[in-house]
Amino acid sequence: MKKINLIPILFALLFLHSSCEPKDPAILKVFVRSSSNQLIGGAKIIIIGDQQSNPPTLDFVDTSFTNSSGFSVIDMDEYFNTSGKENRTGYFDIIVKYNNKTATGYARCRVHTTSVETIYLPN
Protein backbone atom coordinates (compact mmCIF):
# COMPACT_ATOMS: atom_id res chain seq x y z
CA MET A 1 0.00 0.00 0.00
CA LYS A 2 2.88 2.36 0.76
CA LYS A 3 4.30 1.79 -2.73
CA ILE A 4 1.04 2.92 -4.34
CA ASN A 5 1.14 6.21 -2.40
CA LEU A 6 4.80 6.71 -3.22
CA ILE A 7 4.38 6.57 -7.03
CA PRO A 8 2.29 9.80 -7.36
CA ILE A 9 4.73 11.60 -5.08
CA LEU A 10 7.67 10.54 -7.27
CA PHE A 11 5.90 11.75 -10.42
CA ALA A 12 5.11 15.08 -8.74
CA LEU A 13 8.73 15.54 -7.69
CA LEU A 14 9.93 14.67 -11.18
CA PHE A 15 7.55 17.22 -12.70
CA LEU A 16 8.63 19.95 -10.26
CA HIS A 17 12.31 19.22 -10.91
CA SER A 18 11.93 19.48 -14.69
CA SER A 19 9.96 22.75 -14.48
CA CYS A 20 12.70 24.44 -12.41
CA GLU A 21 15.39 24.17 -15.08
CA PRO A 22 17.25 27.43 -15.70
CA LYS A 23 16.54 29.36 -18.89
CA ASP A 24 19.16 29.76 -21.60
CA PRO A 25 20.96 33.11 -21.55
CA ALA A 26 20.46 35.79 -24.19
CA ILE A 27 23.73 36.08 -26.09
CA LEU A 28 24.90 38.12 -29.06
CA LYS A 29 27.92 36.55 -30.76
CA VAL A 30 29.69 38.87 -33.21
CA PHE A 31 32.32 37.63 -35.67
CA VAL A 32 34.62 40.20 -37.29
CA ARG A 33 36.23 39.35 -40.64
CA SER A 34 38.53 41.20 -42.98
CA SER A 35 37.60 41.85 -46.60
CA SER A 36 39.59 38.69 -47.45
CA ASN A 37 37.41 36.67 -45.00
CA GLN A 38 40.08 36.31 -42.27
CA LEU A 39 38.88 36.44 -38.65
CA ILE A 40 40.18 39.54 -36.84
CA GLY A 41 41.23 39.47 -33.18
CA GLY A 42 41.36 42.62 -31.06
CA ALA A 43 38.61 44.51 -32.89
CA LYS A 44 36.47 46.84 -30.77
CA ILE A 45 32.73 46.12 -30.90
CA ILE A 46 30.16 48.67 -29.75
CA ILE A 47 26.51 47.61 -29.34
CA ILE A 48 23.87 50.38 -29.27
CA GLY A 49 20.13 49.88 -28.72
CA ASP A 50 18.10 51.06 -31.75
CA GLN A 51 15.43 53.36 -30.33
CA GLN A 52 13.92 53.88 -33.80
CA SER A 53 13.00 50.20 -34.13
CA ASN A 54 9.44 48.92 -33.83
CA PRO A 55 8.98 48.13 -30.97
CA PRO A 56 11.61 50.59 -29.72
CA THR A 57 14.65 49.19 -27.97
CA LEU A 58 15.56 50.78 -24.64
CA ASP A 59 18.78 52.72 -24.06
CA PHE A 60 21.64 50.24 -24.11
CA VAL A 61 25.34 50.54 -24.92
CA ASP A 62 27.98 47.87 -24.44
CA THR A 63 31.57 47.54 -25.62
CA SER A 64 33.72 44.46 -26.03
CA PHE A 65 36.71 43.21 -28.00
CA THR A 66 37.06 40.16 -30.22
CA ASN A 67 39.21 37.35 -28.90
CA SER A 68 42.08 35.69 -30.78
CA SER A 69 39.51 33.56 -32.65
CA GLY A 70 37.87 36.68 -34.10
CA PHE A 71 34.60 36.78 -32.18
CA SER A 72 33.09 38.34 -29.10
CA VAL A 73 30.30 37.03 -26.89
CA ILE A 74 28.08 39.76 -25.45
CA ASP A 75 25.71 38.86 -22.62
CA MET A 76 22.35 40.44 -23.46
CA ASP A 77 20.69 39.29 -20.22
CA GLU A 78 21.67 42.65 -18.72
CA TYR A 79 19.43 44.37 -21.27
CA PHE A 80 16.51 41.93 -20.93
CA ASN A 81 16.62 42.01 -17.12
CA THR A 82 16.15 45.81 -17.15
CA SER A 83 13.70 45.98 -20.07
CA GLY A 84 10.95 44.00 -18.34
CA LYS A 85 9.25 40.68 -18.98
CA GLU A 86 6.98 41.97 -21.77
CA ASN A 87 9.99 43.13 -23.83
CA ARG A 88 11.37 39.90 -25.33
CA THR A 89 13.12 41.30 -28.43
CA GLY A 90 15.72 44.02 -28.94
CA TYR A 91 17.28 45.58 -32.04
CA PHE A 92 20.86 46.76 -31.89
CA ASP A 93 23.28 48.68 -34.10
CA ILE A 94 26.78 47.21 -34.18
CA ILE A 95 29.87 49.34 -34.78
CA VAL A 96 33.22 47.62 -35.29
CA LYS A 97 36.53 49.50 -35.15
CA TYR A 98 39.88 47.98 -36.00
CA ASN A 99 42.99 50.09 -36.67
CA ASN A 100 41.71 52.85 -38.98
CA LYS A 101 38.77 50.81 -40.34
CA THR A 102 35.13 51.03 -39.26
CA ALA A 103 32.22 48.78 -40.21
CA THR A 104 28.60 48.62 -39.10
CA GLY A 105 25.94 45.98 -38.75
CA TYR A 106 22.54 45.31 -37.23
CA ALA A 107 21.31 42.57 -34.91
CA ARG A 108 18.02 41.33 -33.54
CA CYS A 109 18.30 39.65 -30.15
CA ARG A 110 15.65 37.64 -28.35
CA VAL A 111 15.48 36.58 -24.74
CA HIS A 112 16.91 33.06 -24.03
CA THR A 113 18.39 32.87 -27.56
CA THR A 114 21.85 33.15 -29.10
CA SER A 115 22.03 35.58 -32.03
CA VAL A 116 25.04 35.47 -34.37
CA GLU A 117 26.19 38.29 -36.65
CA THR A 118 29.25 38.62 -38.90
CA ILE A 119 30.68 42.05 -39.69
CA TYR A 120 33.12 42.49 -42.59
CA LEU A 121 35.73 45.23 -42.44
CA PRO A 122 36.34 47.23 -45.63
CA ASN A 123 39.59 47.07 -47.64
Number of compact structural domains in the chain: 1
> Does residue 27 form part of some domain?
yes
In this prediction the pTM is: 0.79
Considering the domain boundaries, does residue 39 fall inside one? yes
Whole-number Å distance between alpha carbons of 123 and 89: 33
pLDDT tier, 79 (very low <50, low <70, confident <90, very high otherwise): very high
Dihedral angle computed from the Cα positions of residues 80, 60, 38 and 114, in that order, rounded to the nearest 10 degrees:
10
**Domain containing 109: what range?**
23-120
The answer to the question of residue 91 being in a domain is yes
In a domain, 18, yes or no: no
9 in any annotated domain: no
Average pLDDT over the chain, rounded to an integer: 88
Q: Within a domain: residue 17?
A: no
CATH number for the domain spanning 104: value is 2.60.40.1120
